[in-house]
Structure 1
Amino acid sequence: MDADAEVYLGVVVERREIDNPWEDYTWRPLAVMPNAPLEVNWQDLQQGEGWKHFLARTLPLDLYKSETDGYRENLGQPVPLVFVVLRPGEEAEEEEVEPFILTACPHEASGYVESGDVIVEGVRMPPEVAEWLADFVEQHHVEEPFRKRKNKRHQDRDQGSRPRGRFGGAAS
Structure 2
Amino acid sequence: MSVARPTVEVAVVMRRERIEGVMSRWQTWRWVLDDVLAQEPGFGQAPRLLYKNDSEERWLHPGYKVELFTDDAEGYYLNGTTGAPCWFVLWRMEETAAIADEPIARPEVVTLSYHDAGRWLDAQENVEQVPAPKPVIEWMMAFVHEHYVQEPKRRKRPESFRTLTDRFGNPASVTTEKKRGGGQEGAS
TM-score (structure 2 length as normaliser): 0.69
Deviation at 1:21, TM superposition (A): 5.6
Identity %: 26
- Is contact 2:15–2:58 with CA below 8 Å preserved after alignment? yes
Pick from 60, 85, 88 the counterpart of residue 55 of structure 1: 60
Deviation at 1:87, TM superposition (A): 1.2
Higher Cα Rg: structure 1 or 2? 2
Q: Distance in 1 between matches of 2:4 and 2:95?
A: 26
What is the aligned partner in structure 2 of residue 91 from structure 1?
96
What is the aligned partner in structure 2 of residue 12 from structure 1?
13
- Is contact 1:40–1:55 with CA below 8 Å preserved after alignment? no
Structure 1 or 2: more strand by fraction: 1
Q: C-alpha offsets along residues 25-64 of structure 1, whole Å, 9 cap, x if unaligned? A: 2111111111334633232333444012121232111211
- Is contact 2:14–2:105 with CA below 8 Å preserved after alignment? no
- Is contact 1:83–1:104 with CA below 8 Å preserved after alignment? yes
What is the aligned partner in structure 2 of residue 138 from structure 1?
145
Q: C-alpha offsets along residues 85-140 of structure 1, whole Å, 9 cap, x if unaligned? A: 10121334254321100111122102111212x32111110222112111111111
What is the aligned partner in structure 2 of residue 29 from structure 1?
33
Counting only pairs closer than 5 Å after superposition, residues 37-116 of structure 1 correspond to structure 2 as 37=41, 39-94=44-99, 95-116=103-124
Q: Which runs of 4+ in 1 moved over 6 A?
A: 148-151
TM-score (structure 1 length as normaliser): 0.74
Q: What are the ranges of 5 or more consecutive residues in structure 2 without an aligned counterpart? A: 166-188
Q: What are the ranges of 5 or more consecutive residues in structure 1 without an aligned counterpart? A: 155-172
Structural RMSD (CA) = 3.0
Aligned residues: 156
